[in-house]
Structure 1
């Protein structure tokens, strides 16, 4: 799949700010690219020594891929994805509850962008390469331990005893954000959701079963929904790998967020499920368990001095049930950079951050809440509520779904809200409604 070009280029600011991004995860990399494209100097501090070649699958939905299309990522990146032709929801036993045979065409036709299943490290490496090409300065093994943001130019101190100042700090340091604790003035650990995830990636060379090999080589997306748990499976890397995520009740000890999982325990949880799924699970050699965490909503994503702003999991972590964590984080980074491209003075930064918060906070937090609703619909125990849910599914099988629909992936109310979002249009329209104030003569020298 070739990359996409557009005439809608971001504006470049007539002033050049020094901006520090804390964290080289997906939100930090997306922000670094967008901010650099907007004309500013960007330095990224990352605690790890390098971007490791590890991870599992991601589902990149059109609200995200339409941003990535404008980021100038390599053709190799686009070729590394898999575009599912159809999307199917199964009852856990295997029977079909919902099926969109034309999912690929529907995504492109409705949203003018693809739905891609992608290996996380392929996306991270592509974003990193593009950020470096734009002149972003990466400082690895640079763990930020303290922020001092009382002065106009905040100071960032690291565990390695380095000290940096900037005009703005972007807190993109994820679920376990130290920036968040600094901002709140207290330790603020994430909270367990009651669920955990088993994440499995299988190479097609591990699979001899002809039927399973077709599932991998001919990309489609499948959900299995059952009592207290659900699973999702999809192809990666052009049909060369298969990604399975199993979402089950959390039994990890308190304080443990990840540990190696027992294959036998995992398989026992899905005994009696669809034989296709269990045959895939029979091929697993090792698996990790990840505790799924969330956070309380923050009062604000920007500080009073307008020199610290939060993006991604640092301010709105999401359950994976709508696959919007990475997509929403990339939206955050894009919007922030686009707004910073419109400033004509340092004095415009507060206005830009206020618009960013207005555009992103309500949406990010609403999606986070919606993921809990999808969990409820997908994890119903067998009984009257589950039978009523399945009756809705089956009454619309082979038809265009009507809202409210139990699977938000194809719900005609929720899907357009998620996938139809255009960060570029949102910024453009918001500035028309709330333009930057004119510069006074006293502020000309701030440019």
Structure 2
């Protein structure tokens, strides 16, 4: 162990959404929290993201929902259309009965804005934030986690949270697997909304479903920006090329789509594309005093718009699992982390596995052609607005979207 080790109650590795959320949640429980990030400064790339009620409830728990609403947009509807004909297939009204049922709003927000809200929350709460730290490995020594860094300076903690994303350095501690290619890529773009922008749909989230492709549009930043995401099956990505030198694949993928979709392609930034990966679900995220969270634990395809949402749920669940065990009315009991991590893992692994698998199936249904497309459209059109049978399992309010920890184990740990 390094002579220059930094000691803390909780060490979080990774400064993305999951890491910041986990750091904030455990700081709110009373832990001394240090978060390390390999980049020289904090930031988030990408475009917009959708925050469903299961996530906005967590933001409300931490007093951050109003800040998100100040910069985000509450769309009026989620609308699905056929990309080839333009026909509306189904819609969900997102205010009124929907918001009352799930106890929180549906919000669309720029990724960098949500990241900043979480970062400022961590700063205000007193989380210690450290940049330019590359963690190479973590081991459990006694009852503490020790993170070894490229610079040779170790960090010690009662528990280490691995929130280092899809290509996690720490995941090999619990699983011998690799990211799974979906064969699909995404181009994204945000452009200012001007007087020339078509006014139709500027208050909604619109999803166009096409053969081997789809396109999503919605407003951002109080209606100042229009966010566009185009996702399609890429022959070059299937050959192993993550990036590609032209836009001919993009144009070919949408050649049969309605003019509104083809016009929307002009909003995309085509200098970089985003290959879409996930991983197969795993049952165990814990190795000694290290636990995975967010994309490091359960990377998922984007079809349910739940990547960031599930990361926030993770943080809230770990917050709940450690209250009454690690963090008690008598003070902090670090010996109880083993129980808290086991309870957290039990609560979250099954739920996130269902989200991962459902996202895969959802994506397959979006991109069908021929007879399958006809049947898909009939199924979608048979659904009426405010039919919640497909939403309740995902957005429902059981414990703010976070199932409670096992009460027996909590009582056992509290008595320890």
Residue of structure 2 equivalent to 1:274? 258
Q: Using the alignment, how far apart are the partners of 1:240 and 1:439 within structure 2?
A: 50
> Does the aligned pair in 1 maintain the 2:144–2:158 contact within 8 Å?
yes
Structure 1 residue 49: deviation in Å?
A: 0.9
Runs ≥4 residues deviating over 6 A: none
> Does the aligned pair in 2 maintain the 1:60–1:117 contact within 8 Å?
yes
Name the CA shift for 1:162/1:253 in 2 (closer, same or farther; >3 Å).
Answer: farther
Name the CA shift for 1:73/1:392 in 2 (closer, same or farther; >3 Å).
Answer: closer
Residue of structure 1 equivalent to 2:237? 252
Residue of structure 2 equivalent to 1:391? 378
Aligned mate of 2:334, from 339, 346, 358: 346
Q: Using the alignment, how far apart are the partners of 1:375 and 1:245 within structure 2?
A: 14
Name the CA shift for 1:40/1:239 in 2 (closer, same or farther; >3 Å).
Answer: same
Aligned mate of 1:132, from 107, 123, 130: 123
Unaligned 5+ runs, structure 1? 1-15, 402-410
Q: Which has the higher strand share?
A: 2
Deviation readout 1:295-327 (Å, 9 max, x if unpaired): 132241112x3x111111111111000001110
Aligned mate of 1:88, from 79, 92, 109: 79
Residue of structure 1 equivalent to 2:411? 436
Map 1:397-408 to 2 at 5 A.
399-400=384-385
> Does the aligned pair in 2 maintain the 1:45–1:142 contact within 8 Å?
yes
Residue of structure 2 equivalent to 1:414? 390
Residue of structure 1 equivalent to 2:171? 180
Residue of structure 1 equivalent to 2:4? none
> Does the aligned pair in 2 maintain the 1:35–1:338 contact within 8 Å?
no
- TM-score normalized by structure 2? 0.89
Provide the aligned C-alpha RMSD in A: 2.4
Given the alignment of the two structures, is residue 25 of structure 1 paired with residue 16 of structure 2, yes or no?
yes
Given the alignment of the two structures, is residue 149 of structure 1 paired with residue 140 of structure 2, yes or no?
yes
> Does the aligned pair in 2 maintain the 1:89–1:225 contact within 8 Å?
yes
Structure 1 residue 160: deviation in Å?
A: 2.2
- TM-score normalized by structure 1? 0.84
Given the alignment of the two structures, is residue 330 of structure 1 paired with residue 312 of structure 2, yes or no?
yes
Given the alignment of the two structures, is residue 47 of structure 1 paired with residue 38 of structure 2, yes or no?
yes
Q: Using the alignment, how far apart are the partners of 1:425 and 1:415 within structure 2?
A: 12
Map 1:147-226 to 2 at 5 A.
147-184=138-175, 188-205=177-194, 209-210=196-197, 212=198, 214-215=199-200, 218-226=202-210
Q: Using the alignment, how far apart are the partners of 1:27 and 1:77 within structure 2?
A: 16
> Does the aligned pair in 1 maintain the 2:15–2:37 contact within 8 Å?
yes
Structure 1 residue 264: deviation in Å?
A: 4.6
Range with bigger deviation, 112-121 or 329-338: 329-338
Structure 1 residue 350: deviation in Å?
A: 1.7
Name the CA shift for 1:54/1:215 in 2 (closer, same or farther; >3 Å).
Answer: farther
Q: Using the alignment, how far apart are the partners of 2:254 and 2:233 within structure 1?
A: 12
Aligned mate of 2:214, from 220, 230, 244: 230
